[in-house]
Amino acid sequence: MRLPRPRGPVSRGVVDALRGDQDLDVAALTARVEAARGDVLHDEDLQLALWVCYELHFDGFEETDARVAGPDPEWDPDLLRLRAALEARLEERLRELTRDDVEAALAGSDDVAARVFAQAEAADGPSLGRFLQREATAEQFTEVLVHRSLYQLKEADPHTFVLPRVPGRAKVAMAEVQFDEYGAGRPERQHSTLFGDGMTELGLDRRFGAYVDDVPAVTLALNNAMGLLCLHRRLRGAAVGHLAALEVTSSLPCRRYVQGLRRLDLSPAMVDYFDEHVEADAVHEQVATRDICAALVAEQPELAEDLCFGVAVCLRMDELLAGHVLDRFRAGRSSLRADDVSEAVA
């Protein structure tokens, strides 16, 4: 993928450094990150900067892959220092956002799996699934898929980083879930490939990151939250909780997506993608809650609280994105940035 268009001074600093145009002024940029006002989850500049830092650990960028001189960007100490400042802001905000959810979860059942289900049931945000099932136009449906493409085209990859960090039974169960996500031995059945096939059928660009310039901060923040939890060993409990929340909140909404696509007579390949999740995730949610989450906490009880944190992060970020999309749709607007890119810095 190509580096995205910067959205402010911090993302510009990161992108310029990765292009090799300019050295990273880590002190000045870190100071900017620390001084940034407003809700960091909606900060276009900071979320894009962090997203670029994280993507260096996944598919990377054509511009950096082509570079022969200089430090390896993935492990450049200056970039990692700036990333740490961005992550500190994000984690602080996520902890604050989910504090009450975590407290309520811990005050509930002692059973770890039951607690995950209870957290998901307690979430009462706006339902994107219901809207897509009954009301969305084909254009709106496609837009939602564009938001989702930032995760779905690398589906399961963030959590794979967690595998070596969990012990015994939890690791085995997690490998089982990931095996399914990666197509259970059939490359053409990888969930990211199925999603890409649907995108192609809909006339969308299936290359990872093709739409990064179009999605707002909140979409990047949802992915950055996943990156934060999955790339830090210290947060492995939260990463596992996040995975479980994804699985627990998948089966029913995917059924709604299928019904919406059929109502609009859209892409059979995209129907296939969501259909696959109706059945698979009904199984995955059991494996994730009982064999991964409960097994992990049985071995490492100190992770119990962070596990609830990870569940809550997944649910709250989903809710924020759904809220953004539905607010825009109800106002007759697009949920993508094309509608409000007068602030484009590039």
Q: Which residues of this protein are in contact with Fe ion, per CB under 5 A?
A: 181, 191, 281, 284
> By C-beta, is 86 or 199 nearer to Fe ion?
199
The DSSP secondary structure of 32-53, one letter per residue, reads HHHH--S-GGG-HHHHHHHHHH
> By C-beta, is 44 or 181 nearer to Fe ion?
181
State in angstroms the smallest separation of the CB of 271 from Fe ion: 15
State in angstroms the smallest separation of the CB of 295 from Fe ion: 18
Query: What amino acid occupies position 16?
Result: D
State in angstroms the smallest separation of the CB of 287 from Fe ion: 9
Which of 240, 214, 176, 224 minimizes the C-alpha distance to 328?
A: 214
Q: Which two tokens stand for residue 342?
A: 């007068």
Residue sitting closest to Fe ion (CB): 191
Question: Cα separations (Å) of 73 from 8, 54, 76, 223?
Answer: 21, 11, 5, 20
State in angstroms the smallest separation of the CB of 120 from Fe ion: 14
For residues 231 and 224, the answer to whether their CB atoms sit within 8 Å is: no
C-alpha 66/C-alpha 31 separation (Å) is 30
> By C-beta, is 154 or 191 nearer to Fe ion?
191
C-alpha 225/C-alpha 218 separation (Å) is 10
Query: What amino acid occupies position 290?
Result: R
State in angstroms the smallest separation of the CB of 251 from Fe ion: 9
> By C-beta, is 91 or 281 nearer to Fe ion?
281
> By C-beta, is 53 or 315 nearer to Fe ion?
315
